[in-house]
Amino acid sequence: MGDERPLPIGARGAVILAIVAAGAAAVPWLGLTPGSLVPSDGGLTLVGEFLVRAASPALTSEADPVPEGTPPLLWRALAAARTTVVFAAAAMSLALVLGLVLGFASSSAWWADDLRGRGRLRRVVAPVLTWSSRTLMVLMRSVHELLWAVLFLAALGRSPTTAVIAIAIPYGGTLAKVFSEMIDEAPRDAAHALRSSGASPAAVFVFGLLPRALPDMIAYSLYRFECALRSAAILGFFGFPTLGYYLKLSFENLHYGEVWTYLYTLFALIVVVDWWSGALRRRFLA
Amino acid sequence: MSAARDAEIGRLWRSRPRSRFARASVVAMLGLVAWAWIGGGLVPSELLSARRLANLERFLGEVTPYPLQGRTFDLGVALRWAGDLLVERGLAAAATTLAISVAAIVLAAIVGAVLGAPAARTIASPEPWLPDPRRPAAPVAFAWRGLVTGSRAVMIFLRAIPEYLWAFLFLAMLGPTAWPAVLALGLHNAGILGKLGAEAAENASRREPQALRGLGASRAQVVAIGLLPMTLPRLLLYFFYRWETCVREATVLGMLGIVSLGYWIQDARARNHYDEMVFLILLGAAIVLIGDVVSAVARRVVRRAS
């Protein structure tokens, strides 16, 4: 290692130096002084009260008096969890469709010479389709789901479906990018064997290429489902009845016990999905 | 020809990875999706109601830059409008957004290193590298195991809470400085980077650490000289991947009141200035793209150097 280095710092060292320099420049620009990190007296008691309640999340509503007709707290938490799961699952189903279609269209393996015959049509169609789908993916991905939600709120007004679409667009773009990379990086031995035995391009793809990439794709999709749960919860800050909505409300009413109840509910949802994807990975990818 | 092909397809089909759990999982997922669409109260057709379509039409009218509304398009006017908006607040907010993402990811790397190292069993166990004939005393083994479990639990908690929520909580405690955004992104990503770093340390080759340990190096020396250089490329890749997400999130965190791009997006939305809002959202997308390109270049440099 490092026998003939032209400089005392290698490329890796230069990258790390750049990171440190960027970090050092960001601190004064943002005015990050240690003094502004100390919470005010009011802030400090608030931190204390909030953290203390971590050990004792509320089991019943903390409003006093409880407004008439409010369902019990745990029921509210469950209903919010249900909406969160509904939004996340529906958004992931749309995102998967978008991701599969765009991911296949933009994967270079699908168009590779050694996996498909040569044809004049393909020479023209392949680059156009590849690059248009890649551009679309970038556009979908580079706008955050909350900003998609803000756009849809302004354009169409609030509706559960807009929340689902707002999550599905950037997630579809991300899935497409990752799927196309996974397909391109999958081992091609089986695909070549099929191709040389005269199978059609579609059969090469479905039976040769896809099964090799599938375990990774499923594991990644489950991870994104976990992210979708978080995104769906946060959309509640914009008035959708997911966990974030109730969480914000309770926090603003200083009902910290309730905040922790909702936090632990979200935590439980994520732990379940995390366990699920872990178990699947162990059995499936072994 | 076709018989050979069918045989090949059949062979591949039979040799596909199979597991009852995986199959049950797929069925459960399909069931979950069907339930969400059927029983979840989602009515997509409602989006096409007359009221919503009228709303959409009004919105599309207001997205046109204000000085151009109701007039023929004039590129000069449009450019002046965009330039004014950029100088007035767009560029400063964009710089703040980038600065927040950089400060946050550096903080995440530091906290992640502190939490991730004791979470790796190849670092935090009585004798991680050499076969040790003596069994460690029970309290010693227990303390090491507690350290691993404890740091992992902290990291799970840090990453389970969404960064937006962390920022909301910190904002209430610290007031509207840049700290809430930096801390929120930094802590959430510390949980992620720490976990990925610990996994990288556990998957790294054991030969070099073993050799160093055999020569009598201390735990800290083995980590610094043996383990860190081997895992560094991978750690840097993760660092840049997570920085890309930080740029996206830093934009959005402004909607809580921290002066990144999101602050002005929310402001324009509150004033119903949809032309400004869409322009700023597009500016945010441009920053995300810049971040992606910088990150891709940096990752290529790291890959080539290793």
Distance from the Cα of A235 to chain B's closest Cα (Å) equals 10
Quick check: is A78 in a domain? yes
- In Å, the largest CA–CA distance within chain B is 86
Both tokens of B306, joined, read 């290793």
Cβ-based neighbours of A224, under 8 Å, separated by 6 or more: A92, A95, A171, A174, A175
Distance CA B117, CA B190 (A): 12
pLDDT attached to residue A131: 86
Distance from the Cα of A12 to chain B's closest Cα (Å) equals 6
Cα B167 off chain centre by:
15
Measured N-to-C along each axis, helices A243-252 and A210-235 cross at an angle, to the nearest 10 degrees, of 30
Cβ-defined contact of A89 to B33 (cutoff 8 Å): yes
Parts of chain B with a pLDDT under 70 = 1-2, 12-13, 15-18, 133, 306
Quick check: is B20 in a domain? no
Q: CATH number, domain at A174?
A: 1.10.3720.10
Quick check: is A84 in a domain? yes
pLDDT attached to residue A270: 87
A 247-276 residues with CB below 8 A of B?
A: 247-248, 251, 263, 266-267, 270-271, 276
Measured N-to-C along each axis, helices B261-270 and B228-253 cross at an angle, to the nearest 10 degrees, of 20
pLDDT attached to residue A194: 80
A 25-64 residues with CB below 8 A of B?
A: 25-27, 29-32, 36-37, 39-40, 43-44, 46-47, 50
Cβ-defined contact of A93 to B25 (cutoff 8 Å): no
Predicted-complex ipTM score: 0.83
Other C-beta atoms within 10 Å of A114: how many?
Answer: 10
Instruction: Show residues of chain B in contact with A178, CB under 8 Å.
Output: none
Quick check: is A101 in a domain? yes
Quick check: is B85 in a domain? yes
Instruction: Show residues of chain A in contact with B47, CB under 8 Å.
Output: 156, 159, 161-162
Quick one: A87 exposed, middle or buried, by C-beta within 10 A (0-12, 13-18, 19+)? buried
Quick check: is A205 in a domain? yes
pLDDT attached to residue A110: 65
Quick check: is B17 in a domain? no
Both tokens of B165, joined, read 């929520």
Parts of chain A with a pLDDT under 70 = 1-9, 109-122, 284-286
What is the secondary structure of B218-284 as a DSSP string? -HHHIIIIIIHHHHHHHHHHHHHHHHHHHHHHHHHHGGGTSSSHHHHHHHHHHTT-HHHHHHHHHHH
H-run or E-run covering B36? helix B20-39
Cβ-defined contact of A197 to B175 (cutoff 8 Å): no
Quick check: is B37 in a domain? no
- Selecting from B21, B175, B233 the residue whose C-beta is nearest the C-beta of A43 gives B175
Q: Which chain B residue's Cα is nearest to A221? A: B29
Q: How many domains does chain B have?
A: 1
Distance CA B31, CA B19 (A): 18
Quick check: is A92 in a domain? yes
Quick check: is B177 in a domain? yes
Other C-beta atoms within 10 Å of A23: how many?
Answer: 18
Distance CA A78, CA A86 (A): 12
Quick check: is A39 in a domain? no
From the candidates A38, A146, A205, A260, which should be mutated to test the interface with B, based on the most B CB atoms within 10 A? A146
Both tokens of A196, joined, read 């040389």
Q: Is the peptide bond prior to B176 cis by the omega test (within 30 degrees of 0)?
A: no
Give the domain range for residue A206.
Answer: 73-284
Quick check: is B52 in a domain? no
pLDDT attached to residue A7: 47
The residue behind tokens 């599905």 is: A168
Distance CA A151, CA A24 (A): 35
Helices (H), chain A: 11-30, 41-52, 73-106, 120-142, 145-156, 160-185, 189-196, 201-203, 210-235, 243-252, 256-284
Cβ-defined contact of B40 to A83 (cutoff 8 Å): yes
Distance from the Cα of B19 to chain A's closest Cα (Å) equals 6
Give the domain range for residue B158.
Answer: 75-305
Cβ-defined contact of A30 to B178 (cutoff 8 Å): yes
Instruction: Show residues of chain A in contact with B155, CB under 8 Å.
Output: none
Distance CA A229, CA A214 (A): 23
Spatial contact of A84 and A269, defined as CB atoms under 8 Å apart: yes
Quick check: is B214 in a domain? yes
Q: How many domains does chain A have?
A: 1
Q: Which chain B residue's Cα is nearest to A141? A: B285
pLDDT attached to residue B133: 67
Quick check: is B38 in a domain? no
Q: CATH number, domain at B148?
A: 1.10.3720.10
Identify the sign of the CA torsion A231, A235, A237, A240: negative
Distance CA B211, CA A35 (A): 47
